[in-house]
Structure 1
Amino acid sequence: MFPRRIHLFLAAALFALTACGVERIFYYPNRVLYADPDKLGLTCQLVSYPTANGRMISALHFPAQGPALGTIVHFHGNFANVSNHFPASYFLVRRGFNVLVFDYQGYGVSEGKPNRARTIEDGQASVRWALALSTAPVGIFAQSLGAAVASVVAAKEPEVKAVVLEACFTTYRAAAAHAMKQSVISWPFAWVFPPLFVRRKLDPWDWVEKISPRPLLFIHGTTDRVVPSWMSEKLFARAREPKRLWLIPDAGHMECRRKAGQAYEATIAAFFEKAFKETTPN
């Protein structure tokens, strides 16, 4: 009986923890300064602006080197803050784009706490700030959790001209189930807890087809164990034209740039430049 009681206790404890915290697995904010643009000699401005709920969020704005081809809003992943993520999109600055990298509520020095609806509000506020910056066209570059958020924001904001989604998951529920399957402890519950505790709401699966007619580029590493590449393949099949899927061999989660090298930077920059030229009046 004693071992059985232990098993029942552990199962009950895991159930309670999952019920309270399964949605929290999507957000890991902190205020650590990972990279300082000033110390790296990069020109940028720390800006802040309100979201729909009145919370102030912060962002780094990097002006283009030379005349701007447009402004790219970078939606980063679920960990840390902008100081950890801006290096992933800075190559666009060198290629002639303004770049705005923002922190969700609760990340870095942004006010509030993150949740699914608030990240959407943060993304919309950031896109609108970029649109107010100048008459230059605005695009979205998004990674991991940011790609999930951006898929909804892009659908809601018709002024966005082009979208790049890297390592995007299909639904929050599917992402949670996949994460639980990676542990022998949580694996048996991966088919039970996500349907019970992860809502089907504001998911990429329900919004990605609404991004059309804006150009959409999916990027995914074929050996991604955090967000498997089949998720981007399913989203690509669901999305409408114009669309493109680029699977990068042997790239894990957030490794596409490292594996593809200059081709990664050149492909994304060319994608935005072409989209902006096609949608901007002469």
Structure 2
Amino acid sequence: MIRFSILTRLICFFALMLNLSGCQSLFFWPTPELVDSPKRFGFSYENVEFQSSDQTRLHGWYLSSTLSGENSRGTVYFLHGNATNLSYHIANLYWLTEYGWNVFIIDYRGYGRSEGEPDFQSVIQDASSGYQWLRDRGEENIIVIGQSLGGAIATGMLGLNQDIRVSGLILDSTFASHREIFRDILGKSWLFWGLQIPLSWSISDDYAPQNFIAALSHTPLLIVHSDADTVINKKHSESLYAQAGGVKRLWIAQDLQHGAIWQDKYWQQQLICQLAQWPKLMPAEHACSTSASQN
């Protein structure tokens, strides 16, 4: 989920007036305290500690498939959105363990128990280090799901590291451009509406998903968004879909708010069916059809 406040916008405004660059902190809203989601949702996990490429200590959870007598189908590597920490976001996908999937979720630097301070470049490094931890563990069939800001991080991770190859990429409610989503947010405020374009130039677009998406044509790509998302407009996903090459599919959910798609039972089932057919990508309405499941 993307969150901004009037105060931090004002801080960014005055920073711009003073000819300072950045304002990347607007995109990161970490909290250190973990909530007791394992008890609430009834799953077990392995605490994972690893290091980013600059030796920053990071933290994650690894959830194993709960299907007995079967090998796992693979691992979903979940890169969460910009607020709170992994203990809040795991509610989106922990249930995949009941369908044969391992789930690995990390906190970027500054989130939860991970050390350091986040910025656009460093969180991509963190995600890349999490991928390497999975590879060192022996995981092979890895599908990355990036939600909101996590989708931007996932796209940057794959675009900047040609040696990282995954079985698939799912972008959930992701923006195409840091600068454009910042402009969209400012445009909703009467205080900043007239300044949205000049203020947006304080935001770097060096790591924008639109810079990398075309180069990921070797990776099957599913993009998911809701037409009722009031935080990140679906135009961002439509833009990324148009720029993407290779095997791709766009799903548009109806009447669901930002970050809520995988909390809906219908969309949970569509994702389960789609993952079972990967890398063949189906329209959402056909993902669980009898004919689709037989192909």
Pairwise TM-score range, normalised by the shorter structure: 0.7 to 0.9
- Structure 1, unaligned runs of 5 or more: 1-11
Deviations 1:201-234 (A, max 9, x none): 0110011112222110000010111110011001
| Cα shift at 1:135 | 4.1
Per the alignment, residue 7 of structure 1 pairs with none
- The structure having more radius of gyration, on CA atoms, is 1
Comparing 154-163 with 117-126, which one deviates more in the overlay? 154-163
Comparing 116-125 with 266-275, which one deviates more in the overlay? 266-275
Which of 168, 177, 181 is 1:171 aligned to?
Answer: 177
Look up the SS of the partner of 1:209 in the other structure. helix
Which of 212, 225, 241 is 2:217 aligned to?
Answer: 212
Which of 104, 108, 115 is 2:108 aligned to?
Answer: 104
Q: Is the 8 A contact 2:220 2:279 kept in 1?
A: no
Per the alignment, residue 266 of structure 2 pairs with 263
Per the alignment, residue 9 of structure 1 pairs with none
CA RMSD of aligned residues (A): 2.1
| Cα shift at 1:273 | 3.2
CA distance in 1, matches of 2:193, 2:113: 36
CA distance in 1, matches of 2:222, 2:280: 16
Q: Is the 8 A contact 1:120 1:149 kept in 2?
A: yes
Deviations 1:54-74 (A, max 9, x none): 101100110011221101110
Q: Is the 8 A contact 2:179 2:204 kept in 1?
A: yes
Per the alignment, residue 239 of structure 2 pairs with 234
CA distance in 2, matches of 1:88, 1:23: 26
Q: Is the 8 A contact 2:80 2:149 kept in 1?
A: yes
Per the alignment, residue 64 of structure 1 pairs with 65
The aligned runs of 1:132-151 (5 Å cut-off) are 132-151=136-155
Per the alignment, residue 80 of structure 1 pairs with 84
Q: Is the 8 A contact 2:93 2:262 kept in 1?
A: no
Q: Does 1:28 align with 2:32?
A: no
- Structure 2, unaligned runs of 5 or more: 1-9, 282-295
Q: Does 1:37 align with 2:38?
A: yes
Per the alignment, residue 89 of structure 1 pairs with 93
| Cα shift at 1:271 | 2.9
| Cα shift at 1:241 | 2.0
Tell me the TM-score normalised to structure 1 length: 0.87
The aligned runs of 1:113-128 (5 Å cut-off) are 113-128=117-132
Per the alignment, residue 200 of structure 1 pairs with 205
| Cα shift at 1:39 | 5.9
Percent of paired sites with the same residue:
25
Q: Is the 8 A contact 1:22 1:176 kept in 2?
A: no
Tell me the TM-score normalised to structure 2 length: 0.84
Runs of 4+ in 1 over 4 A off after TM superposition: 17-21
Structure 2 counterpart of 1:97, one-letter code: W
Deviations 1:36-62 (A, max 9, x none): 315643210111111111101100110
Q: CA distance change for structure 1 residues 40 and 232 in 2, over 3 Å: closer, same or farther?
A: closer
Per the alignment, residue 185 of structure 1 pairs with 191
Look up the SS of the partner of 1:192 in the other structure. helix
Per the alignment, residue 4 of structure 1 pairs with none
CA distance in 1, matches of 2:40, 2:11: 47
